[in-house]
Structure 1
Amino acid sequence: MSRGPTRQNPLVQFVSSGSLVTQILAGLILGVLLAYFFPGAAKYVELLGELFISALKSVAPILVFVLVAASIANHKRGEKTRIGSILILYIVGTFAAALVAVIASFLFPLTLQLKSGVAELSPPGNIGDVLTTLLMNIVDNPIRALANGNYIGILAWAIAIGIALRHAHGATKNVIADLSLSISFIVKIVIRLAPIGIFGLVASTIANTGFGALFDYARLLALLLGCMAFVALVVNPLIVFAKLRRNPYPLVFTCLRESGITAFFTRSSAANIPVNLALCKRLGLHEDTYSVSIPLGATINMAGAAVTITVLTLAAVNTLGIVVDLPMALLLSIVATVCACGASGVAGGSLLLIPLACSLFGISDDIAIQVVGVGFIIGVLQDSAETALNSSTDVLFTAAGSYSSEDKPLTVVQS
């Protein structure tokens, strides 16, 4: 006698295939409730947060190394596309976003709730110390760099190996590309555990520090979203105006409406590529341009990621009492730009590169990973807004580069 199809438990279905955003929000709320009603029990779930942080800490170095090396190794040379000006816009836009984040962090300095470990900190005294540390980290042993989380050294070796592998056989490049996909798959699994980790982090943090920590998170989120809104509505239009010498806002609002809203909910620049390609087609752009610039922009045009990396790094710097002067702030903007260009396409990928920026100031990997954990706590809105800014800017700068080269009037898509 055959049985009808079994109905899966709704809770099991929600955990296994539910929306990650919803799960993270549920974990955050449950953590707050546990800390409020059972503060004693909340301290015992701290292990869940520590396990999540440890998983991030173990996967982040190899992720940076493999993704950067694979990206450079598989870059196709000799492609005849008109993306030179678009690439410049990508870089300028990302650097400008990092500068906005630096200025905002100086105007509205924030601190974070971090655990002990400050005694082991070796903050740099001036820009010379930073540059010396930077150079020594670049030439560090690659195995030691991976083991110790020296992200500057990891990045340097990844670039060098990626350039060398560009001359390798196609089969070798395919292996590197498959390795990159494999590491990204592992990262997705770790990210999938974020709701459990956030539950433990929020519950233990509030139980230990009180509900004042929530106010700190709200202020941090407000600063991040404010910077991203300023970049989208002021900085990007100024860059487009400098390129086109025309009113940029019709195009800006078209990109935000047609691309940004979708990206906000998908929380993935890669997943929004088909939306952006269709929008570029409706804008009347050349396919040989946008078919290259849009996928490339989903990888390297990361203004939102630059904001996230810079704001959270400077929040950690303020927490530890490190004094940052103007040259060091400019250096952080450059590093944040490079980090943002190497951010993983998975949700929360930019957070994994915060330790690289923190290493400039002598901040240990243990403390930097705690900052990453804070980023995941506010990541429900932060990552959505970041992706919306990144993805909509891909189309905006692609259109700006294409229009300027063809000297044609702006085309606005009507909903």
Structure 2
Amino acid sequence: MKRPAPKRRPPAEPRVLDVAIAEIGGRGDGIAMAEGARLFVPLTVPGDRARVRVTESLEAGTGKGEGVRAELLEILEPGAGRGDPACRHFGRCGGCTLQHLSDAAYRAWNVALVQGCLARVGLGDTPFEPLACTPPGARRRARFAALKRGKRVWFGFNERQSHRLADLEECPILTPRLLAMIEPLRALLGRLLPDGDDCDVVTTDLEGGIDLLLVGPRRLDRAAREALVAFEPESVARIAWQADNRSGAEPVANRRPAAIRFAGVPIVPPPGAFLQASAEGEAALVAAVRDAVGSAGRVADLFAGLGTFSIPLSQHAAVHAVEGDAGAVAALSKAVQGLRLTVERRDLFEQPLTAKELGRFDAVVFDPPRAGAAAQAEALAASKVRRVVGVSCNPATFARDARTLVDGGYRLLKVYPVDQFLWSAHVELVGVFERG
């Protein structure tokens, strides 16, 4: 029997309210209360008195964990933590959400975000090391979006919570070499893209030059390939293309070697490979992991990627690196000669290392994607590994996995917070666990 479609609520009449901002939420929006409802107000800071427009029913924001988005109309009285944005695009471009905070307020928010996630799972009393901060002009990897309309190419990042593009003229977070690529890429895509077509461009600033990966257009004809080969900036080391996110990357131009070094060991990553967002952030994470692993003689590095932690750790320990991505495994495997390092390809979401397998190691490092490592955390909780080090770019899933480990008999000794994604609502961290 076919069920009737649920009745849609009629849109609420727009309302203008004056509110007080109490805090900043996990996505970077200010939070205020109005008639028992939580309002999420972008571009505000605690202490702001703001005039906002609400177009949803306030009833939708009265449930636990729920809220209603509001549009900022005017700051009536600024809060103490307000600062001057560093970029003319801030407020439209979705790449940054927190440039309007002062430096002190921004740093405090980074730490408070991690502390809040841990507090929600009963680990709020965990000691913290000082926040490691990434400076402007350090972001070495970015994925741009491009869209051609008529003779114009819009090139940049999506506007916040929108599919519209903010057309970039500047970006204070990018390395100078990546920033210098914006206008040449805009001109190139003006020749490559048909009217109305779009694509993404993954850019990575490597030793040897810029690595470019075009994701789309779906087909490259001979003229397009010739244009890519002739692409002028001397800083470009290699260019690859893939039709969509599910396709393999096809090399188009390879002008010179492009590599990343971990502890002095060169790795040639596959096109568009994941790297830590900045050299400074990577250095802070590696230092924290090395400090946490200590004198352990046998170490497993899970979700090892290209070897960010495996290679530095192999200087003082025998390391077994486990990674599911074939390209990353191939790149890392070429660098193991002369290192105390073995490499295994394995999907740790579907086939986590078991408690028995983990028993071979004195310490385990795990650095999963944003979804966390729920299955692997369960296996670790059942193991007898003395020291576990978790690295995460998502404090919420880290807190979930930390609770699993603590319930299995571990203690969360301390956390190293790392601000690697400057002015965004993302915080990286390293957590140190010990059994007993």
Bucket of the pairwise TM-score, normalised by the shorter protein = under 0.3
> Which structure ranks higher in relative contact order (CA pairs < 8 Å, sequence separation ≥ 6)?
1
Q: Relative to total residues, which structure has the larger strand share, 1 or 2?
A: 2
